[in-house]
Copies of this chain bind each other. A is one copy, B any other.
Amino acid sequence: MPTALTVIPIAGIGEIRTGDELAVLIADAARAQDTPLEDRDCVVVTQKVVSKAEGRIVPLPHDDLDARRQLVESESVRIVRRRADLIISETRHGFVCANAGVDLSNVADGWAALLPVEPDRSAKHVRDALRARAGVEVAVIVSDTFGRAWRRGLTDVAIGVSGIAAVVDLRETPDALGRILHVTEVAIADEIAGASELVMGKALGVPAAIVRGLDPSWFRESSYRELIRPPAEDLFR
C-alpha cells in the first residue's frame, strides 16, 4: 500500500485569548483525543486563533461600515478593486484578498481580527514552542480563507509557514514519460491549508489540524513570500 496522507482535526481547543500559548493548547488537545503530534507532522492553525493569541484584535462597532472601511484601508497598501462594501486590496505582506484580511466571523461582537504582523514568525513561534513543550519536530502553516478571481467559493490558503516549503519547484523533475517539465511550481502549502479546511469547517470550532504523510523532501525553511506573485509579474493587478 502506498503512503497515504491523513488529515486529523484537533478539537477541544476552546476559545483563545490574547497571550495564550497555542502550541500548548494544540499539543494537549491532540494528546487528549489520542492523536498526539509526531515528528514530520505538519500542523495547520487558522489565522483567527493566531491573531487572537497575538492580540491582533481591535474594536469595531457592529454595523459601522465607515469604521470598517477605514480599518480595511489602514490594513492595505493598495486598493485593487472596490465594489459596494467589498474591497479587494493588497496587504502589507503582499496578499491580495477581500477586506485586507480583516475578519468579523468567530470574533466577539464589536471586535475584528487583523492578520498577524509577520505570519511566518507566528508559524515559527508555534513550531518552536511545540519543539520545546511537546518534544516534536513539526512544520507549521498558518491558514486563512481567501476568495479567488474567476472561481466561486473560498478556499483556505497558507499565509505563514515554518519548516515546510510553500512552493515546490518541479521544473527539473522528469515527467512519467521521462521528459523534463519546464515550469511546474506547485503551491503545496496552499493545498495543505485547503486539505485542513475540509476537516475544520467554519462552524465547528476546530482551529487546527494535523497533516501526516507529506513528502519528507518538502520539510525545509521557507516563507509565505514564495507564494506572493510580484506585482510586475502579475497580469491581474
Contact = CB atoms under 8 A, between A and B. Distances in A.
A34 interface: yes
A144 interface: no
A237 B148 CA distance: 12
Interface in A73-120: 81, 83, 88, 95-96, 105-109
Interface stretch (A19-27, A122-130, A134-142, A185-193): A185-193
A185 B167 CA distance: 26
A43 interface: no
Interface string A161-174: 00000110010011
Nearest to A225: B152
Chain A contact residues (Cβ within 8 angstroms of B): what range?
A: 35 or more
Nearest to A190: B155
A20 B3 CA distance: 26
Contacts of A88: 235
A154 B194 contact: no
B6 A2 contact: no
A203 B227 contact: no
B227 A152 contact: yes
A59 B4 CA distance: 36
Contacts of A105: 175, 179, 181, 184
A94 to B, nearest CB: 9
A151 B155 contact: no
A8 interface: yes
A32 B166 CA distance: 34
A197 interface: yes
Given A108-B177, A191-B198, 18 more contacts: A1-B33, A3-B199, A4-B199, A5-B7, A6-B6, A81-B236, A105-B181, A106-B177, A107-B177, A150-B234, A151-B227, A155-B194, A175-B202, A175-B203, A181-B202, A184-B202, A192-B198, A194-B194
25 contacts: A1-B33, A2-B8, A2-B199, A2-B206, A5-B199, A6-B7, A81-B236, A105-B184, A106-B177, A107-B177, A145-B186, A148-B148, A149-B237, A151-B187, A152-B226, A153-B167, A153-B186, A154-B185, A170-B201, A173-B202, A174-B203, A181-B203, A191-B194, A195-B195, A199-B213
